Amino acid sequence: MLYVVSTPIGNLGDITHRAVEVLKAVDLIACEDTRKTKILTQRYNINTPLTSYYEYNKAVKGDYLLKVLREGKHIALVSDAGTPGISDPGFSLIRSVLEAGIKVVSIPGPTALISALSISGFPTNKFIFEGFLPIKSGARKKRLARLKDLGVTVVLYESPHRILKTLQDMLEVLGNRQAVLVREVTKKFEEVIRGDIESL
C-alpha cells in the first residue's frame, strides 16, 4: 500500500497523530529531501528508513518504489512540506502505483494552498489553484490572461525571487485588483500582505 502522508508546512506540531502512526508503521518513507524529512522523523522518534524521491530521480526511483510495493511492503510518500502530489513529483508516483493496481491511501493534513486561502479573506466557495506560473514572462502573461475573467478566487504559488516580476505581469494583464500575498504560512516569519496589486 502507498500512503500519501501530509506533513507540516512549517510548524512541526501541525502533524496528525495518524500521520505519525503511519510513518512509524510503514517499511519505507519516500521523501523529496531526506535531510528535511529527517528533522521531522527525529522529532517524533520515527525510525523508518528514508529514501529520496524528487523531480530529477523520479523515473528511476519510481520504478524502485513500485518494485518494493509489489513485494508486499508499505511505503509512505511525503513531500518537503504539505500534501504530496500538489505541485511536486508525487503525482507521477501516485499515478504509476494506481495503474499497477496497488492501493493508495490519503493521510490528510496541512497544505499551503488551503491554509493561505483560508486566511485570505477572499471567497472560498469557488476557487482555482493554478500552482506555479511559467518562469518566462510571455508564457506567464498568457496563463494569466486565461485566468482574468473566471470570476473565482485564484490561488497561485510563486518563488520569492520572481514575485515582483509576477506582480508586474499580473498588474499588466489582470488590472489593479485586490490580492493577498502569504509567505511562510505557519512558520516563525509568517507574513500576510493585503492590498491592490500595484501597492503590493
Task: Give pLDDT tens digits for 109-122.
Answer: 999 999 999 999 99
Q: Is 90 exposed, middle or buried (0-12, 13-18, 19+ CB in 10 A)?
A: buried
pLDDT in tens, 127-184: 999 999 999 999 999 999 999 999 999 999 999 999 999 999 999 999 999 999 999 9
Task: Give the confidence band of 87 by pLDDT, cuts at 50, 70, 90.
Answer: confident
Picking from 79, 83, 130, the residue whose alpha carbon sits closest to that of residue 110 is 83
Task: Give the confidence band of 191 by pLDDT, cuts at 50, 70, 90.
Answer: very high
Task: Give the confidence band of 71 by pLDDT, cuts at 50, 70, 90.
Answer: very high
User: What is the rounded (10 degree) CA torsion for 169, 173, 177, 183?
Assistant: -30
Contact by Cβ (8 Å): 118, 83: no
User: What is the rounded (10 degree) CA torsion for 93, 79, 87, 103?
Assistant: 30
Q: Decide if pLDDT at 83 tops 90.
A: yes
- The residue-averaged pLDDT of 61-69 equals 96
